[in-house]
């Protein structure tokens, strides 16, 4: 029974990650129906995040900020798209977005009509949007697999 409980806990954690991932995918897909308005890029830069461990590479992330007006109210945002967050050791990842959204450029921004502060520059789900869902499912499968193996290999008392 010793090996079953940690495996089940592992699967439960995976289920939680998967549920979070499902929510992110739904939000990303919902952006396909969001209306758009004009926005202006007010900040566009690459931010370097120094590595916390010796021997690991620094990571780079795009920091894109924009402002837009909805119903006479000036709003700001910094979401490129769902799934496009964080940083990468590939400097090109950040360069791509900084080149695509340079400061001062006019762009379309897509916003949630029920909560206009929620906005993105790119609609839809990227491959990274599915990462939490996939990771969670892997945890669930592995947890269940090891729980079954542990249960089958238990010594009879």
What's the pTM? 0.73
Using one digit for the tens of pLDDT, what is the confidence trace for 9-50?
889 999 999 998 898 888 889 999 999 999 999 999 998 888
Closest CA to 97 of 49, 149, 31, 46: 46
Mean pLDDT of the chain: 87
pLDDT above 70 as % of the chain: 90
Residue 154, classed as helix, strand or coil, is coil
Q: How far is CA 68 from each of CA 33, 75, 85, 108, rounded to the nearest angstrom? A: 18, 5, 21, 9
Least trusted range by pLDDT, from 2-16, 80-94, 121-135: 80-94
CATH number for the segment(s) 35-122: 2.40.50
Segment holding 136, helix H or strand E: helix 131-152
User: For the chain, what are the domain ranges?
Assistant: 1-31+125-157, 35-122
Q: How far is CA 62 from each of CA 27, 33, 69, 99, 117, rounded to the nearest angstrom? A: 21, 25, 23, 10, 20
- The structure tokens listed for 145 are 């697999």
**Residue 89 DSSP label:** S
Strands 36-49 and 106-112: antiparallel
- The structure tokens listed for 43 are 């900040």
């Amino acid at each position: 029974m010793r090996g079953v409980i940690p495996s089940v806990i592992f699967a439960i954690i995976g289920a939680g990650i998967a549920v979070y991932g499902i929510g992110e995918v739904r939000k990303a897909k919902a952006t396909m129906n969001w209306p758009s308005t004009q926005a202006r890029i007010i900040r566009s830069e690459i931010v370097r995040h120094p590595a916390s461990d010796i021997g690991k590479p620094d990571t780079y992330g795009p920091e894109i900020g924009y402002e837009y007006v909805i119903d006479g109210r000036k709003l700001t945002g910094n979401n490129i798209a769902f799934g496009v967050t964080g940083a990468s050791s590939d400097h090109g990842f950040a360069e791509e977005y900084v080149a695509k959204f340079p400061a001062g450029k006019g762009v379309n921004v897509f916003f949630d009509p029920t909560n206009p502060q929620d906005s993105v520059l790119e609609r839809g789900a990227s491959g990274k949007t599915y990462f939490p869902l996939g990771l969670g499912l892997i945890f669930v499968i592995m947890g269940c697999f090891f729980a079954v193996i542990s249960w089958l290999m238990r010594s009879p008392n």
